[in-house]
Amino acid sequence: MIQIKNLSKAFSGKKILDNMNISLEKGQVLSIVGPSGGGKTTLLRCISGLETMDSGEIWIDEQQVDPTKHQEATSQIGVVFQEFNLFPHLTVLENLMLAPTLVTKKAKEDVEITANQILAKLGLKGKEKQYPFELSGGQKQRVAIARALVMHPKVLCYDEPTSALDPDLRDSIAKTILELKDEGMTQIVVTHDHEFAKKIADQLIEVASIQ
Ligand SMILES: Nc1ncnc2c1ncn2[C@@H]1O[C@H](COP(=O)(O)OP(=O)(O)OP(=O)(O)O)[C@@H](O)[C@H]1O
Ligand SMILES: [Mg+2]
């Protein structure tokens, strides 16, 4: 479903990712664990097009994609960043609606229906008009997931989804990831947390060991 072939990336001559290969079937969860500075965030930035690759290819459904071509990337690979990156001046619903109305030029009414369905699915009904500062850490994270899902990505990636959460919420994000898996979502999860990684993963990669 998604193949990453021989991805390499160096910063100032120092190899961060060296010929990395990933192959995932639809609905599989890949956990990537490794030490700080091992290149986990860099990998997600490369596959979501925020960073250019030095070499390598990304294939989704037997087609090669260039994630730096913005529209193509946003519709196929979603990323939930560690800091969530919600827009502070927009409500929850506005945060969800911004990208689909701007990037895909879909009708506002249709986007709103989808956005509300996704919010309800993630347990955020009633939060539509609130601003990010009015939400708990776990709620902000679920809004960030909802905002990625509203673009109907084929692959959803998470950068350290448990780092800002206490242990109860850690279980709840694991549950959300497994529910999305049951619906067929292919997911890549970058984390320091070995126990969490094992709990959710079909495949596990240690970043340090492939460098
Ligand atoms: N834009 C950049 N320019 C130069 N060096 C960078 C850049 N982005 C990352 N690096 C370097 O690449 C290495 C890998 O960084 P990265 O953020 O991918 O690590 P990480 O595995 O996500 O670490 P952590 O677990 O602490 O989040 C680090 O040494 C970092 O300093
Ligand atoms: Mg990181």
pLDDT in tens, 15-35: 888 899 999 999 999 999 988
Say yes or no: CB of residue 40 within 6 Å of ligand 1. yes
Say yes or no: CB of residue 137 within 6 Å of ligand 1. no
pLDDT in tens, 76-97: 889 998 888 899 999 999 999 9
Close Cβ partners of 183 (under 8 Å, ≥ 6 residues apart): none
Q: Is the per-residue pLDDT at 74 higher than 70?
A: no
Specify the ligand 1 atom closest to the Cα of 43. 18
Pocket test of ligand 1: the residue of 16, 46, 157 to mutate, having most ligand atoms within 8 Å of its CB, is: 16
Say yes or no: CB of residue 141 within 6 Å of ligand 1. no
Say yes or no: CB of residue 11 within 6 Å of ligand 1. yes
Close Cβ partners of 189 (under 8 Å, ≥ 6 residues apart): 29, 30, 31, 32, 157, 158, 161, 177, 197, 200, 201
Domain residues of the chain, as ranges?
A: 2-210
Residue nearest to atom 13 of ligand 1 (CA): 37
Question: What dotted CATH number matches 2-210?
Answer: 3.40.50.300
pTM score, two decimals? 0.90
